Structure 1
Amino acid sequence: MKTIGIPWPEFNDGLRYNDVVSPSNSGVSLIQFYSSNHPSSAPLQGWLQRIHNGQITIDGDTVTDPNIVLRVGSKLVYHRLPWSEPETPFLLEVLYEDDDMIVLNKPSGLQVLPGGLFQQRTVLTQLKWHVNKNENSTPSQLHPVPVHRLGRGTSGVLLCAKTKSAKARLAAYFADGTSLVGSKMTDSEIGEERRITKIYRALVKGIIDTNEVLINKPIGIMRYPGVAKGLYVALPSGKPALSKVRVLERDMEKNQTLVQVQIQSGRPHQIRIHLSLIGYPLLGDPLYVAGGQPECFDSELVEEEFAEDGGYQRPTKPVPGDCGYHLHAHEVTLSHPTTNAVMKIIAPLPPMLKLDQEAN
């Protein structure tokens, strides 16, 4: 088994956020600019703290006066200080690799792309490090990138392109499949027209009586504390989403069901949302617990509560990146982006998601 991965350093490199003062912001103070243009990053007092810390420059000069007046065209840079990111796996099993792509078995707990607290500890970072230490890399292999996402708590098959042409082709496969959703397709037709098919394993709370369930419900975005871009939930006004669920095993004693899920679309958190929508949330899911939405929306950010770096404290309510559920991208069948040969890639199952006969 080939693996890639380098242990994470204790601290990341921090971040730099760039802004250019527009005509509409000319004449406002530095603190007014940041508190009004980036309120989701920090409250007013947090931005004052960052300015006093010398974390902001104007045209290359460090500024500590929050009341300095800005001029149009000035370049502002906010330096987010390095921080220790939460504990995260770093080893990635390679399931398949050629000149066009590398397919990984992503572990639960590892984020695919940078976001939130995880700016360095991501799959993308490990791919970059892998290429940089590989002396045999050719120019076409210099920028491997994931072409789709798996939730941080989701494990399994992750497709990554090595070349621009492979990235474009694989991305088109996912886009084509999503575009089919909403068309009049029979149960047996799901997946037949696709150049890529994804099959997941999941463990849900409760006993699903019927052997197969087809869930065709849209998914949209709602405002939610601590999630700046909003939370994906089951929403009638959302985008079409289709999931086919098949029962594999029922455990009456533990009141849980092992299922296989084939998704026609690829909306964020689709399987978690759809299964909770029909009354069977993923076992251990801290967020989606009932009706395809979080349990409650009643918490709000309090402006006076901010973290050491001036930003908001971590939300007390669960957020999408929280782990604890059991979901695994088990199989992906696709047409190779260059040869068009049909190939099936399988990621070994975690123990919790194996059938009794598979576990023996």
Structure 2
Amino acid sequence: MQSKHRFVLDEPEVPFELTVLYEDTNIIVVDKPHFLATTPRGMWYRQTALVRLRERLGEPQITPAHRLDRLTAGVVLFVRNPELRGAYQMLFQNHQVKKTYECLAPAKSIVRPQTGTVERLDSPSVFPLKRRSHIVKHRGRLQAYEIPGAVNAETVIELGETDGNIAAPGYRRYILRPKTGKTHQLRVHMNSLGLPIKGDDLYPEITQPDYTDFSNPLQLVARSMSFIDPVSHDPRTFVSQVPLG
């Protein structure tokens, strides 16, 4: 039988470990490093979280309940019991998963976006704020972009705690709470405010990546994920340990 994924012979090895945060008979929760794709796509096959898990555990039936961009690190949920795949995927489709992201972006005043709205949630303070817009992403086009239209993307953005562990002058931590899940939503929303995420190779401008260079990761981490388990009905919370900066 022909494999559904093609094998890649010259695939660069991602030199970061995939850490398992939790596992039981139904699910596996991992802390995905930067540069590791969630599933096979394009030039990536073995250097993906899915294939690493399947090979490590000898369980070819493992499947993701959702995905993170290759350049985004953090918490990812996999389902090891195929019969329960739909139950866990529906958590994400029905927006029943509370997700928090953390990023590094410029420590400066925001700019007015060209479209959409910005609502200050604790006026007159700028943050926290709610960014709402209409985001589109076309196949074959690397960047997503915003156009006038009915809102389909919403993110609450807060200032993160400042500490001495960030070796990036001119940057600070931001906490991002997406209410929707459009492709590149957080990167697009931050860029639209004049605060592009550190290490972003698509926003505001596309830069040609060197797939063998792992020295400048996108400073965006899916920091935490919380939901009610659809099988056990227990509350679940998982937190990424991937550092920023």
Range of TM-score over shorter length: 0.7 to 0.9
Query: Do the aligned partners of 1:222 and 1:233 also contact (CA within 8 Å) in 2?
Result: no
2:66 paired residue number: 148
Deviation at 1:267, TM superposition (A): 1.5
Q: Relative to 1, partners in 2 of residues 1:236 and 1:250: Cα closer, same or farther, differing over 3 Å?
A: farther
CA–CA separation in structure 1 for the residues paired with 2:87 and 2:8: 36
Partner deviation per Cα, 1:74-131 (whole Å, 9 max, x = no partner) = xxxxxx7852112313521111111110000001110111112112211111121123
Q: Is the 8 A contact 2:34 2:217 kept in 1?
A: no
Residue 168 (structure 1) shift: 0.7
Partner of 2:119: none
Whether contact under 8 Å (2:8, 2:43) holds in the other structure is: no
Q: Secondary structure of the equivalent of 1:218? A: strand
Q: From 198, 205, 210, give the equivalent of 2:106.
A: 205
Q: How many residues align?
A: 221
Letter in 2 for 1:241: A
Q: Hey, what's the Cα distance between the residues in 2 that align with 1:81 and 1:156?
A: 26
TM-score (normalised: structure 2):
0.79
Higher relative helix content: 1
Query: Aligned in 2, Cα 1:337/1:231: closer, same or farther, shift over 3 Å?
Result: same
In the alignment, residue 61 of structure 2 is paired with which amino acid? H
CA gap of 1:154–1:211, structure 2 versus 1, over 3 A, is: same
**In the aligned structure 2, how far is the partner of 1:89 from the partner of 1:264?**
32
Unaligned runs of 5+ in 1: 1-14, 18-79, 133-140, 178-194, 290-294, 297-315, 353-360
The sequence identity of aligned pairs, in percent, is: 27
- The question of whether the paired residues in 2 share the 8 Å contact of 1:198 and 1:329 is answered with yes
The correspondence of residues 131-142 of structure 1 with structure 2, limited to 5 A, is 131-132=57-58, 142=60
Letter in 1 for 2:44: F
Deviation, 1:166, is 2.8
| C-alpha RMSD of matched pairs (Å) | 2.9
Structure 2 CA distance, aligned partners of 1:203 and 1:284?
A: 9
Picking from 131, 136, 140, the partner of 1:215 is: 131
C-alpha separation between the residues in 1 aligned to 2:30 and 2:105?
25
Q: How does 1:147-186 map to 2 (within 5 A)?
A: 147-177=65-95
Within the candidate set 168, 171, 190, 1:275 is matched to 190
Q: Secondary structure at the match of 1:85?
A: coil
Structure 1 residues 351 and 222, CA gap change in structure 2 (3 angstroms): closer
Unpaired stretches in structure 2, ≥5 consecutive residues? 111-125
Alpha-carbon distance in structure 2 between the residues aligned to 1:285 and 1:270: 13
Aligned pair 1:102/2:31, yes or no? no
Q: In structure 2, give the amino acid aligned to 1:245.
A: I
